[in-house]
Amino acid sequence: MVRLSRPEPCNSRPEPCNASQADDLCRIETLLEEAYNERMHLLTFMKIAEPGRFMKLMILGAQGVFYNAFFLSYLMSARTCHRFVGYLEEEAVLTYTRSIADIDAGRLPKWQTLEAPEIAVKYWNMPEDHRTMRDLLLYIRADEAKHREVNHTLGNLEQKIDPNPFVSEYEDPSKPHPSKGIENIKPTGWDRSEVI
């Protein structure tokens, strides 16, 4: 069995990313981390739902169609694609918020006693006494909120010239700025004037 764990930062470059020398303006690291995180969301919910072969085939087919459509769209307008994903992530945040409220209100009785699957416990390093479905949704909602911020921020940038603000170094680190954590999260993303 393959042991899944949180990925280490993608350091395929020997030194920290220098946006003036990188073809991808240092964005690929952030986007790969997001993709891996979304993959873990999918694997977690597939473990909970345990879909049959037909549903797995439907998921695979939907991913194939979406991947190809999104790839072509990204070639035409990366900014529009980042904005679209930012809005999708906003809907995900709202959905998880409503689900958490439904659990708290007793409208999802099966989820009140459902434990997070082992894959989720390992990935998010969930503490022993915080492994319920509600706890899992809190972790996933935080991830989605970060994805929303990342994609709206990337949508606010000039696509061909602006570096990735999530891996950039800032002159005054005491001022709020984009980071990989959730300490300075902005739902609408960081404006270009705040990061460039």
Q: Is residue 154 part of a domain?
A: yes
Is 68 domain-assigned? yes
Q: Is 17 within 8 Å of 164 (Cβ atoms)?
A: yes
Q: Which domain holds residue 152?
A: 28-195
Tell me what the mean pLDDT of segment 24-39 comes to. 91
- Residue 30: its pLDDT value, please? 92
State pLDDT tens for residues 96-147.
999 999 999 999 999 999 999 999 999 999 999 999 999 999 999 999 999 9
Residue 11, pLDDT score: 45
What CATH number did the domain enclosing 55 receive? 1.20.1260.140
| C-alpha torsion 171→177→183→188, nearest 10 | 180
The answer to the question of residue 8 being in a domain is no
What CA–CA distance (Å, rounded) separates 138 from 124? 11
What total of structural domains would you count in the chain? 1
Report yes or no on 22 lying in a domain: no
